Amino acid sequence: MSNILGINAFHGDSSACLLIDGKLIAAAEEERFRRIKHWAGFPSESIAWCLRDSGLSLSDVDHIAVNQDSSANIGKKVAYTLLKRPDLSLVLDRIRNKRERAGIDVHLANAFPNEAFRGKFHAVEHHVAHLSSAFHVSPYDEAVVVSVDGFGDFASAAWGYGKGANIEVDERVYFPHSLGIFYQALTQYLGFPNYGDEYKVMGLAPYGSAQFIAAMREIVKLHENGEFRLDLQYFRHASEKVQYEWENGSPSVGSLFTPALEALLGPARKPDEPLEQKHKDIARSIQAMYEEAFFHLLNALHKKHGGDSVCVAGGCGMNSVANGKITLKTPFKRVYVQSAAGDAGGAIGAAYSVHHAQGGKRSKPMHHAYLGPGFDAKEIDALLTERADDITAAGCKVQLVNDEGELCRRTAAAIAEGLVIGWFQGRMEWGPRALGNRSILGDPRRADMKDILNLKIKRRESFRPFAPSVLREAVPEWFELDGDVPFMMQVFPIREAKRALIPAVTHVDGSGRLQTVEQGANARYYRLISEFNALTNVPMVLNTSFNENEPVVCKPVEALDCFLRTKMDVLVLGDVFIRRA
């Protein structure tokens, strides 16, 4: 038996996972335990939970795999330093950061003082881990594999071909060129400064037109072999020290763009300034440029390797709009993006890289993401007993519903009534998306449901869309494309005749970021949507993450607290149905 602990440390979305004989047993992001979004640092809480969940101690672990190798691409680093002669403080800062991040053994000893790790450490190059995280859990025996992100181990992208247990890397794009940095810098320019705000640009883009695409093509240059380059006059990261914070807290990144970008596009928007049509047009142009570069690369790879299947990873793999167009804009017919495509997923990739390097066989594909903590009825009952006074004071009625059919029918009826439902079930999802176990649910038929959710709970920008969870077999009837999208990682166009029926999950451009739900993956959630379909003839519900400007809830107490402090109407906590009077 081989026990492999995979770790994503000192990147955003720090995380850990555990493989036992090649089977993925547990996986979770550190932010869910620390309650700080995108938490970066050493994922001690995630590690502790993975071990606890499997009944193992640190001494039972044979291998620890980390998705970072400071010795990777060393020749490229030296050559860049000698040729470009960047600011000395930039070089010294990067060396200092690497030293601070060194010593996983020291971090383990501090986090687990009474346990000893006797196995072997493995440093896995960042993009090798990303490629593994996509291909080795995919349902494909052969596929083109692509990783695109900001930077990791001096590279921003890598691609190649996977066959069986092996991945051959063809090429990489090295520092300072990066599609991730392009998107992040332009996100900052539009007045969205926080780590991870790129999804806001994706949400804003359909409200504009690509008026600035010519300017974007000045910023990003495409090469014949599928590669891309940045015009570095618009970016600070290649020649100046940009403030990065990746240690024990929410990650932050200093300003990445130069005054030249403002000379090209006009003054940058400040976060407190209103969004004008120009900003929407720039957002659309940013997304169009990313797609142009992404599909340029994918088409070059298909020309080289052929085949029907492609696996995508890296932070840019979270661009669900582009992912949904792959089968339209390239010859690929099948697309796989796992639920934690970004840096969190590097924990899985590092672990599987080591598993296969040890001669391990391919495991079953990852068809669901329910790999995090779960809580039994006794724990929920104890919480409700402890908090009975708070629940009563909020005017709530608590009912235990042991029959699953009745629980789902009652919840479906509440959704159809226009109520907002907190749905807390089973094991927590792995990755950033709520996929039916830590979800807030609503009626997709109500045009005002987005406003209701923002008023009662979310308080987020009005342009950001909500997503539908749809019965898998109903996808061809409701969407213009068909395919498995279990992790909400692709946006599909909704059939024109259906859009007016589901306005709450139809974006302004007629698309929806869907999650396909199969009975075998999540029987209770499938049953709930089926009951809603029986009531309404609509085989989907609106699904958004169970949180209020915080990481997605992990524990029952966090779900109860969120329910009580917001204006949520119903909380379904396991088999317990709690409704405000």
Cis check: omega of the bond before 539, within 30 degrees of 0:
no
pLDDT of 4 > 80? The answer is: yes
In terms of CATH, what superfamily is 377-580?
Carbamoyltransferase, C-terminal domain (3.90.870.20)
pLDDT of 397 > 80? The answer is: yes
**pLDDT band at residue 393, thresholds of 50, 70 and 90?**
very high
**Cα-atom radius of gyration of the chain, to the nearest Å?**
23
Instruction: Report the side by side order of strands in the sheet with 15-20.
Output: 23-29, 15-20, 3-8, 63-66, 120-123
Backbone angles phi, psi at 188, to 5 degrees: -60, -45
**pLDDT band at residue 87, thresholds of 50, 70 and 90?**
low
Domain boundaries, the chain: 3-130, 133-339, 377-580
Distance CA 334, CA 312 (A): 11
pLDDT of 99 > 50? The answer is: no
pLDDT per residue as tens digits for the range 447-505: 999 999 988 897 888 888 899 999 999 999 999 999 999 999 999 999 999 999 999 99
Q: Residue 491, class by beta-carbon neighbours within 10 Å (0-12 exposed, 13-18 middle, 19+ buried)?
A: buried
8 A C-beta contact, residue 374 and residue 573? no
Distance CA 508, CA 488 (A): 18
Six-digit token string for 471 = 């019965």
Distance CA 520, CA 526 (A): 9
In whole numbers, what is the pLDDT of the chain averaged over residues? 95
Range with lowest mean pLDDT among 88-102, 122-136, 310-324: 88-102
Give residue 206's Cα distance to chain centre.
21
| pLDDT the model gives residue 110 | 93
Residue keyed to tokens 């600070």: 236
| Element (DSSP H or E) covering residue 78 | helix 74-84
* Cα–Cα nearest to 406, from 540, 279, 275, 572: 572
| pLDDT the model gives residue 302 | 98
| pLDDT the model gives residue 55 | 97
Q: Which residues does 398 contact at the CB level (< 8 Å), separation at least 6?
A: 384, 391, 576, 577, 578
Mean per-residue pLDDT, 519-523: 98
Six-digit token string for 494 = 């909704």
How far, CA to CA in Å, does 573 sit from each of 377, 440, 521?
Answer: 9, 12, 19
| pLDDT the model gives residue 96 | 47
Six-digit token string for 129 = 């881990």
| pLDDT the model gives residue 100 | 43
Q: Which CATH architecture has domain 133-339?
A: 2-Layer Sandwich (3.30)
Task: Report the 10 Å Cβ neighbour count for 226.
Answer: 24
Backbone angles phi, psi at 278, to 5 degrees: -60, -40
Domains 133-339 and 377-580 share a fold: no
How far, CA to CA in Å, does 101 sit from each of 40, 108, 245, 430?
Answer: 11, 13, 12, 25
Backbone angles phi, psi at 192, to 5 degrees: -115, 90
Greater model confidence, 465 or 204: 204
Range with lowest mean pLDDT among 73-82, 183-192, 306-315, 502-511: 73-82
Six-digit token string for 466 = 């909500």
Mean per-residue pLDDT, 247-271: 94
pLDDT of 578 > 80? The answer is: yes
363 DSSP 8-state letter: -
In terms of CATH, what superfamily is 3-130?
ATPase, nucleotide binding domain (3.30.420.40)
In 176-332, DSSP assigns E strands to 220-222, 228-230, 244-245, 252-253, 309-313
The dihedral region occupied by 266, where left means phi > 0, alpha psi between -120 and 50, and beta the remainder, is: left
| pLDDT the model gives residue 73 | 84
CA 136, 141, 144: angle at the middle one, nearest 5? 75
In this structure, the strands spanning 309-313 and 334-336 are parallel
Mean per-residue pLDDT, 289-297: 98
The dihedral region occupied by 510, where left means phi > 0, alpha psi between -120 and 50, and beta the remainder, is: left
Distance CA 412, CA 387 (A): 26
**pLDDT band at residue 324, thresholds of 50, 70 and 90?**
very high
Distance CA 542, CA 80 (A): 49
8 A C-beta contact, residue 34 and residue 13? no
Q: Hey, what amino acid is at 138?
A: S
At 73, is the secondary structure helix, strand, or coil? coil
Q: Hey, what amino acid is at 415?
A: I
